[in-house]
Structure formats: C-alpha cells, structure tokens
Amino acid sequence: MMRAWPVLPLIALAIVVSFVVVVLFTAIFFLSNYRAGPLPSPDELQLPEPSIVRDAAGDVIARLDPGAVRSNIELDQLPDHVWQAILAVEDRNFYEHEGYSTRGIVRAFWTNLIHGGIRQGGSTITQQYVDIAIREVPRTYRGKLRELAYARKLENRLPKDEILEYYLNAVPFGRGAIGIEAAARTYYGKAATELSVNEAATLAGMVAAPSRYDPGRHPETANERREITLRGMAEMGWLPDAEADQLIAEGLPELREEPLVEYGTNAYYLDAVQQALAEELGDEQDIYLGLDVTTELDVRLQELALTTLNAHLADVPYTGAVVSIDPTSGAVKAVVGGRDFRTEQFNIAIRGGNQAGSAFKPFGLAAWLDQGRSLEEVFRAPAQMVVNFDQFPPYDVSNFGDAGFGQQNVRQATLTSTNVVYAQIASEIGPEAVKEMAIAAGIDDTEDLVAVPSLILGTVDVTPLDMAQGYATFAAGGERHEPRFIRTVRDIESGQVVLDAERARPDRAMQAAVAHGVTDVLVNNIQEGTGTSAQLGRPAAGKTGTTDDFRDAWFVGYVPQLATAVWIGNADNTPMARVTGGSIPAETWGDYMREAVASLAVEQFPEPNWDTLVPRSPTPDRSPTPDRSPAPIDTFGGTAPGISPTPTSGPDLGPETDEETTPTGEPTFGTTQPTFGNTTPSSPQPEPDDSPTTRRPGPVETLTPILPG
C-alpha cells in the first residue's frame, strides 16, 4: 500500500480531466449543433478527379484510373458479412451510439494531449462519413467539434441503416476505389454482392489506411488487419470462432485486380511512375486521385524502345526490357518491362532482377582503377584455373567455351570478357571493393549483393534500371544522379505543389579518372571486343553480359547524353537457345540508340587524366606482393594509373601501390612483364560474347565453379 499512494492522485486527475473534457465537448457540441447544415448524399458528393500524368513536354498521356467505375449499392443487397466486417474493425457500437463515442473522444483527447496535436480522432462511422462529405474539416479541435455537430444532426435526420449505406458507398479503399462496389471490382474483379467473408475482412481492414494495408503492396500488414477484423467479427457473434480460425489459417485471399494503368506504349513507364509516387508520397496519399503528375518520360524514346525490342523478339519466344537514363540528370526517359503490358504485367525493367553476367565486370574494373592499379597489368589467362582468396575457399573458374588466352592485360581481358582474369582481379582488390564500387555507381544494395569471389562476374540479381544507372555514372564522369521518373506533382483542385523533384546535386561515386578509364576500355569493347554489334558510328561505350545456360543476356552502354540497358531472357528464368549479350541485346541496343541519339550532337568522351587520380587504399586484408613490376604504357591514350614507360618515371602513388596480392599458390610474374605496345599477344579470338556465370553465389563454403554454358 505504501508504494501505491502516488498513483491515486494521477487516477483522480485522470477522472476529473476526462469528466471535464466530456462536459466541455457536450456543451460546445450542442451549442454548435444548430450551425451544422445539410450533408450531401453519396450521389451528391464532389469526389476528387482521377490523377493525370504528363510527359516531359507537359502533354497529358494518361489518367491513373483503376478502371472500376464508382457505383452505389443498397445495404440490403450486400451479404451481411460485408457490413459486419466493416463495423467489427471500425465501429462496433455503431447501432448503439448517437453519432459519437464518449469513450473514443476521451481516448483521443489523451493521445492528442500527449503528442501535442490532433493525432487521433476517435471517429465513429457517422463522423467518418461527415469527414468524407464536407472534405474541408481541419485537423484541429474546432474542426473535430464541427464534425461532431454534423454527425449528431445526421443521426437525428437519418436511420442507422441509411447512414451505414452512405458510408459504404463513399469510403475510399485506395487505388482510386471509392465505395465497397468499386473496391470489390478493383481488388477482386467481382461485385460486392459476391465477396467472400475473407475478402470482405481484407477490404474492411484497409479502411483505416488504404495504402498502408494494401494486400498487393503490403501483404504482411494487410494480413494482420484481416486477422483483427475476423477476430472482431467472432467477438461480436457474427462469425463462429472455428470459422474465424479457419479463415485466418487460409491467409489473404487471392487478388484478381485489373492492372492500374492504361494499356499502350507508355504502360510500363506509367507502372514505374505509380511505384515512384507511392514511395515518394507515402501511405497517406491515394496516388490515383486528385494529382497532376509531370514525369520525365520522352514519348518518342518510349515508343522507339518498345518497337525496337519487339522487332528483335519477333522470331523468338523470349521477352526483354529496356531502360534509358539521362546521365546528366538521372531523368529516366524510357522504360519497357516486357513485350506488351496486356500480357506481361510484371515490369522486369524495375522489379525482380536477373544476373548481370559479365556486364557487371566494369564495376570491378572501376574498383581496380580506384586502387591505382593499371589497365596494362598482365595476368595468366588459361581456360580454367583455381583462384585463391583471403577468407574464402579456392575458387574454380572457367572462361566461356573453355577458351584460353595465354596472358592478357586488364584491357584485353575486358575485350574478351575473360573470367579467369577478372577472378584474379577480385582476388587482388578484394570482393568487398567490388561491392562498394557497384553500390556507389548505383546498383541497389539488396541482401543478395554479397561480397563473394563470384560477384565480379555478375552473380547478383539486378534490374535493368540498376544497370542503366550504374553505367550512367560512368557516362557522367563518376557523378551519380538518382534515377528520377517524376518531375513535379500538383494538387489538381488547388494547384498546390505536392512534390517538386528539382535536380539534386549529384553524388561523387568515383573519381573522374576512374570513370573515364572504364569508359575508355568500354569504347574499345564496342570497337573490337564483344560489343561490335552495338556500333553507332559515333563514340559509344558498352559491355555484354551472358549468364549460365544462357538464362540472361545483356547489353548495357552509353553515349555522353544517354545510357541504356537491354536485357533479354525468359520470364520464368529458363534457358534460351544460345542467346548471348553480343547477339540480340547488342543488336537491339544498337538499333535503338542509333535512332535515339541521331538528333543529338556527337560528343567525345574525355580521356582519363591519370595525374588527378588519388589511389584508394586497398582492402585491409590484402597482403603485399612486391614482385609485380610496372606494366607498359596504356596504348589508348595517356598512362594508366600506377604505370610508366620505365619503373622510375611514374607518379609516386605512395605505399598503396605496393599493397598488391597474388592468389596464394598461384605463380607470380617475377620482375618483368611483356610489353604489348600497339599489338596484342597471339591468342584465340574472342567468343561471340562473353562468359556465362553460375546463377547464384551461394554460401561461401559451397561456391561452385563457373563453367561454360
């Protein structure tokens, strides 16, 4: 008892304050009641217009309309479990109260007092309808009093069933669906009269926050709300406990909604815009109503990308994706995520992911140069070899077609896409350096992006949007702009700016010399490497990629003004018939880009200025190997980082240049390396493309060899 006495004053205070609050609300409520005018019926409600979308030129290209035409339905037409589900989660005492809940008001008052503002409204079904009907209710105490006055007057004028019917025909369910009938058709493709108990419970659970509890976008939170609703129905005696348990165990009902974008050339871009709007505006905004959205879409490039892709897929059963980005701003100009949105609604361009294969190697090349290493350093290039890594088991790696190249420098290994050389590069700089550079360039840092030996060979799943952004960073001289679909968003009714995505300052992802060095090699790759099918007749840089069993084929490249990624494969990830990155993807990229940039001025890429490079310290666990000698002059302009014509005339790069490693157990090259000058050593010609890779890196202890496809 001695410990409990301090609590008593608090309890007394709570009781007194609660009583005062109720008295004040009641008094002001009745004083205000005479001022409340008539409320419109659902047929008379002024609902927000569907959101409109404009292209970069400001022309309207679509409405974000879910396609479910709003229509009213009478309460007695609905199965009882539909309205019961709503009341179970929103207002269990609806048929007992007089338009407001004293308990709810007190609870909301304390919550708002603690948080210093209106956080909770304690609203009944009647109050919610008032809020929908008059729309301009402010989130203030005066606004709540006005809402109470209207609610009381509505209760005096209409029977409960009619109020509930009004509410069911006016409440928003997200995705632009207003009312239970539109919601049923939007999410389940059926009339509200056909909704099952499980479907009704799922929709009822969404009312509190439609976007947050959207079963398609947030299944976990939607499922929690569905369970709360079903338990509430059981507690109210509207559903047997055993049936509630059975429905809870069944999980969310299957969605059968129609696509929420208009079909046509721009469908995949519009799909991406919807995703971007949801991410930018959050769960409180129904993106399908009342917004005027200006995007970065270039309708000419969008149509060109779609038609070019389909032209190259006309005689094969595969699908594909194309994404184009302006490297100078991050503006996404075109998005194609399949052949036709009517039949392929999963947008491969921005969702899921596929292994990049050798198209990922430029990120490893950038990490190599970032540590002050040379394009002319020479490696063994047999058909197959075991490469040792610190902290990883020996890695068995093979080249495409078991092709051996004797010895190659880094530039040559990029042009022939030699896996064994790039595995040795990863061993020397460390897989973590490859991962960090990829993320810096723009690859999404997902849980699949793991720093393992095979990462440099492209065993991580990436989207075409990821790859287009990563290569756009090279095109921009190492500056990374976040990809941007949306320019501005305004409220249609007020004209107020909701979102203004002004050009943000770019991030410095890598040193300019590193980006220009990668570009220098990738230009050469289109000229005489695996990407010759992508030649444009103007300076262009790019890289092919092909994965194990020909499941994925890529070409990603750029000119200074536009970066584009092309992916070809099967939607179910089954193998293709020997489609490599140098075939359909490179040809598609070339045909598309030739026309896409035809009206743009021909710009030269800057040459790498190695004098400006500040070598980054290697990964701490790299052990020094002092017996690598300086390599020859870079024959494609300038001197590669850390090298010089003679060992004594190169720039002093400090101790970092000595912190190199040769894989344990592998032979070193002594103190001399062959000088290639303007010629290359005799070696097999490059394969039609590059090297297929294993589908996934897997756990470290179970790394499997990369074998030819």
State pLDDT tens for residues 300-357. 999 999 999 999 999 999 999 999 999 999 999 999 999 999 889 899 999 999 999 9
Tokens of 357: 């294969």
Per-residue pLDDT at 289: 83
Give the right CATH number for 9-38+67-250 from 3.40.50.2300, 1.20.1260.10, 1.10.3720.10, 1.10.3810.10. Answer: 1.10.3810.10
Name the CA dihedral angle for 41, 46, 51, 52, rounded to a multiple of 10 degrees: 140
Please name the residue that has the structure tokens 């603690």.
114
CB 523 within 8 A of CB 541: yes
Strand partners, 563: 325, 558
- Cα-flanking dihedrals φ and ψ of residue 394, to 5°? -55, 140
Report the alpha-carbon distance of residue 582 to residue 555 in Å, rounded.
Answer: 7
What's the CA gap between 54 and 233, in Å, rounded? 44
- Stretches where the chain sits below pLDDT 50 are 1-5, 31, 34, 108-121, 137-138, 620-689, 691-709
For 155-203, the pLDDT digits (tens) are 888 899 999 999 999 898 988 888 999 999 989 989 999 999 999 999 9
CA-to-CA distance for 706 and 400, rounded, in angstroms? 9
Model's pTM, two decimal places?
0.74
pLDDT at 16: 60
The helix or strand, by DSSP H or E, that contains position 508, with its residue range, turns out to be strand 507-508
Other beta carbons within 10 Å of 384 = 16
What pLDDT was estimated at residue 569? Answer: 97
- CB-hemisphere CA count at 13 Å for 630? 18
Tokens, residue 610: 């190695």
Helix and strand numbers (H, E) in the chain are 19, 18
CB-based contacts of 566: which residues, under 8 Å, 6+ apart? 309, 320, 321, 322, 464, 554, 555, 556, 585, 586, 588, 589, 592
CA-CA distance, 228 to 443, in Å (whole number)?
39
- DSSP tag of 583: T
pLDDT of residue 152: 82
Domain ranges for the chain:
9-38+67-250, 354-702
Q: What would the 3-class secondary structure string for 187-213 be?
A: HHCCCHHHCCHHHHHHHHHHCCCCCCC
Fold adopted by 354-702: Beta-lactamase (3.40.710)
Query: Which amino acid does the sequence have at 118?
Result: I
Structure tokens at 586: 């490179």
Please give the pLDDT value at position 401.
86
What per-residue confidence (pLDDT) applies to 99?
74
Sign of the C-alpha dihedral, residues 197, 201, 207, 210? negative
- pLDDT the model gives residue 504: 72
CA distances from 637 to 361, 375, 478, 508, 516 (A): 22, 11, 19, 24, 11
- CB 63, CB 51: distance < 8 Å: yes
Q: What percent of the chain has pLDDT over 90?
A: 60
pLDDT at residue 644, as a whole number: 29
* Distance, CA of 63 to CA of 50 (rounded, Å): 6
Q: What is the pLDDT of residue 315?
A: 95
